[in-house]
Amino acid sequence: MSYVKGLKCRECSATYPIEPLAICEECFGPLEVDYDYESISKDLTRELIQSRPPTLWRYRELLPVDTPTVGLNTGFTPLVRADRLANILGVAELYIKNDSVCHPTLSFKDRVVAVALTKAREFGFEVVGCASTGNLANSVAANAAAAGLPAYILIPDSLEQAKIVGTQIYGINVIAIKGNYDDVNRVCSEIAGRFRWGIVNVNLRPFYAEGSKTVGFEIAEQLGWRAPGSVVVPMAGGALINKIYKGFKELEQLGLIPEVQTRMFGAQATGCNPISAAVKDGVDDIRPVKPSTIAKSIAIGNPADGYFAAKLIRRTGGWAEDVSDEEIVDAMKLLAETQGIFTETAGGTTLAVTRKLIEQGRIPRDEPIVVAITGNGLKTQEALTIEPPISIEPRLEEFEKLISKRRAA
Amino acid sequence: MPTVIRIPTPLRKLTSDVETVELDGSTVGELIDNLEERFPGVKARLCDENGNLRRFINIYVNGEDVRFLDNLATAVKDGAEVSIIPAIAGG
């Protein structure tokens, strides 16, 4: 059963019934799911959560669906204690929330899609779709295929090859739009107005976005039921950072963790930094930009939740920064070489920003820090220039020669 | 030649459910005023008390966000296509 009361506008608080609606008719503000927390607090305990399988559905009372039917094995990714990386960055306690191994398509988008497609079925949609910078495309395609739902997926035509292959393999409809993600999003919104389809990040957005809270739930549970001192999150549309924090606050409200004093930090690429620019300039309004960065999965020039992200960052005493493409690649290598985790360009962005904010003294060195790694490096290999490996004849002497040369060097 | 304006779903209750409207006007601001004349109440949804575009609304002229142009003063040439689109989520 669901504990959802309805939908509520984040801007003007107008209320709506549980419908595939995302935008307030009064002020165009985003609608958000409104829960009956009093009933949830009577039913949900740490013990109940811990008695369930390690998937995001262990927190199902705090998700806006009746019965989970899609993405049943998604979530509960490792929270990796990263001591080797912590030594290099000069901090006491560092963790990687590793959604680069999320099931089934290796990014945190599997979480939002599990919720959105479950909801799409509850609403009776016969066709689903999305606008995507890649990871969402992969996830909607895989989960729709497994659920037997026809899907239409719109992507920018400049996407990385692995993200195109990783969408088309599932045999659904992929359409490349000549333009950037903001163009794709605009067309997708117009499509949603014309066809009666369940577009996960358009008319199913309030439900979809709730899936991201599970990153916050898991971090808190995996830390032994407490929220960390600092969390660093990549920002594209700006929803994830808001939802991770909302996850902490809901657990606090239900008495499942102590008071939340977490500072939220946001990461962007300098080639697409509308939110970090607003934070650094101290302004409320997000000025859209035309993206130009290798971090394509977070290249959204017109971030819908940017205003809320900037506000949250200020309110929690956090900060935002952006980094160059070169710094992004360096950080991808650093994470791989120190912790054995191969993340995509967005993850490189997040780690590079973490490093920068620690050096600036914005992130305290002596409190637990969690870095949200949201995607897998195998999908963005074009960003890397890797030298081909040394090649030798298949003879032991050749190998010995090579090793003695290396030792001498 | 009039301009074609695409009406987003959240506004269609005010526009008797029509998806597109043809109107005259030389700037985006003028088009909004003329839209208000045809469908009273629309302007208050699009603009705040000071007459500025609301935070969560994007207006595109021939696919270009007016915030990259001259906002409400953006010129609209004959036969242009104007889209009014709510801000949408990442992906």
What pLDDT digit, counting tens, does each position of A188-209 carry? 988 988 899 999 999 999 999 9
Domain stops at, among A206, A232, A255: A206
Please indicate, yes or no, whether residues A96 and A180 belong to a single structural domain of this protein: no
CA distance A278 to A163: 30
How many beta carbons lie within 10 A of that of residue A176, not counting itself?
Answer: 14
Residues A222, A319: one domain?
A: yes
Chain A residues touching residue B85 (CB < 8 angstroms)? 186, 189-190
Residue A302 sits at the chain B interface (C-beta within 8 Å): yes
* Residues A220 and A335 grouped into a single domain: yes
Mark yes or no for CB contact A186/B83 under 8 Å.
Answer: yes
| The predicted structure's pLDDT at residue A343 | 98
In a domain, A187, yes or no: yes
Q: Report the domain count for chain A.
A: 2
Residues 6 or more apart in contact with residue A171 via CB below 8 angstroms? A145
The minimal CB distance from A193 to the residues B8, B46, B63 is found for B8
Inspect the interface and report whether the beta carbons of A239 and B83 lie closer than 8 Å.
Answer: no
How much is the average pLDDT of A56-82?
Answer: 98
CB contacts < 8 A (A, B):
107
Q: Rounded mean pLDDT of A392-407?
A: 94
pLDDT digits (tens, 9 = 90+) for B15-74: 999 989 999 999 999 999 999 999 999 999 999 989 999 988 999 999 899 999 999 999
- CA gap A304, A189 in Å, rounded: 13
Whether B88 and A305 lie within 8 Å, measured CB to CB? no
Query: Could you tell me if A28 lies within 8 Å of chain B, comparing CB atoms?
Result: yes
User: Between chains, do A30 and B56 touch, taking CB under 8 Å as contact?
Assistant: yes
Q: Pairing mode, if any, of strands A198-199 and A320-323?
A: unpaired
Contacts of B18 in chain A (CB under 8 A): none
- Does residue A121 form part of some domain? yes
Task: Work out the pLDDT band at A51, boundaries 50, 70, 90.
Answer: very high
Whether A239 and chain B come into contact, CB under 8 Å, resolves to yes
Tell me which residue of A111, A7, A94, A137 sits closest to A59, measured CA to CA: A111
Query: Closest Cα to residue A344, out of A374, A322, A369?
Result: A374
The pair of structure tokens assigned to A396 is: 């032991």
**A150 with A278, same domain?**
no
Instruction: Verify that A173 and A282 share a domain, yes or no.
Output: no
Q: How far apart are CA B40 and CA A210, in angstroms?
A: 35
Q: Which of A28, A209, A300 sits opposite B56 (nearest CB)?
A: A28
Same domain, A88 and A218: yes
Q: What is the CATH number of the domain that holds B30?
A: 3.10.20.30
- Does residue A43 sit within a domain? no
Tell me, what's the ipTM? 0.87
Q: How far apart are CA A207 and CA A403, in angstroms?
A: 57
In contact, B75 and B26? CB cutoff 8 Å: yes
Work out the pLDDT band at B9, boundaries 50, 70, 90. confident
Q: How far is CA B45 from the centre of its chain?
A: 11
The confidence score (pLDDT) of residue A193 equals 82
End-to-end Cα separation, chain A, in angstroms: 66
> How many domains is chain B built from?
1
φ, ψ at A6 (rounded to 5°): 165, -160
Residue B13, domain extent: 3-86
Average pLDDT of chain A to the nearest whole number: 96
Residue B71 φ/ψ region, left for φ over 0, alpha for ψ in the -120 to 50 degree band, beta for the rest? left
Give the domain CATH number at A239.
3.40.50.1100
Q: Tell me whether B70 touches chain A (CB under 8 Å).
A: no
Q: Assess B86–A contact: CB distance below 8 Å, yes or no.
A: yes
Letter string b/e over residues A328-367, b meaning 16 or more CB atoms within 10 A of that residue's CB = bbbbbebbbebbebbbbbbbbbbbbbbbbbbeeebbebee
Which of A193, A239, A303 is facing B9, going by the closest CB pair? A193
Q: Please check whether residue A176 is in contact with residue A186, taking contact to mean a CB–CB distance below 8 angstroms.
A: no
Q: In this model, does residue A117 exceed pLDDT 70?
A: yes
Q: Is residue B72 part of a domain?
A: yes
Q: Is B57 on the interface with A (CB under 8 A)?
A: yes
Task: Identify whether residues A252 and A359 lie together within a single domain.
Answer: yes
Contacts A202 to B, Cβ<8 Å: 88-89
What is the percent of chain A with per-residue pLDDT over 90, rounded to a whole number?
Answer: 91
Is A371:A265 a contact under the CB 8 Å cutoff? no
pLDDT at residue A60 in the model: 98
| Closest CA–CA distance from residue A111 to any residue of chain B (Å) | 12
Q: Which residue of B has its CA nearest to A139?
A: B91
Could you tell me the pLDDT band of residue B89, with boundaries at 50, 70 and 90?
Answer: confident
For residue A309, give its domain range. 79-105+212-383
Q: How confident is the model at residue A1 (pLDDT cuts 50, 70, 90)?
A: low
Chain B residues closer than 8 Å to A183 by CB? 63
What are the chain B neighbours of A290 within 8 Å (beta carbons)?
68
Instruction: Say which of B9, B45, B89 has its CB closest to residue A304.
Output: B89
Same structural domain, A353 and A245: yes
- Domain membership of residue A292 (yes or no) is yes
| Assigned domain for A407 exists | no
Please check whether residue B91 lies inside any domain of the structure: no
Q: How far is B78 from chain A (nearest CA, A)?
A: 22
**Range name among A100-109, A212-221, A291-300, A314-323 with the lowest pLDDT average:** A291-300
Pull the structure tokens for residue A214. 């599970």
Tell me whether residues B88 and A202 touch, CB distance under 8 A: yes
User: Is A26 close to B60, i.e. CB distance below 8 A?
Assistant: no
**Within 13 Å, how many C-alpha atoms sit on residue A106's CB side?**
17
Same domain, residue pair A232 and A360:
yes
Does A181 contact B at CB distance below 8 Å? yes
Minimal CA separation from B31 to chain A, in Å:
19
Asked if the structure places residue B7 within a domain, the reply is yes
- Residue B1 sits at the chain A interface (C-beta within 8 Å): no
- Cβ atoms of A44 and A3 within 8 Å: the answer is no
A147-168 residue pLDDT tens: 999 999 999 998 888 999 999 9
Helix (H) or strand (E) holding B85: strand B81-86
Cβ atoms A180, A133 nearer than 8 A: no
Amino acid at site A56 = L
| Model pLDDT, residue B91 | 73
The mean pLDDT value for A8-34 works out to: 94
Residue range A86-103: mean pLDDT, rounded: 98
Please check the confidence at residue A186 and state whether its pLDDT lies above 70.
yes
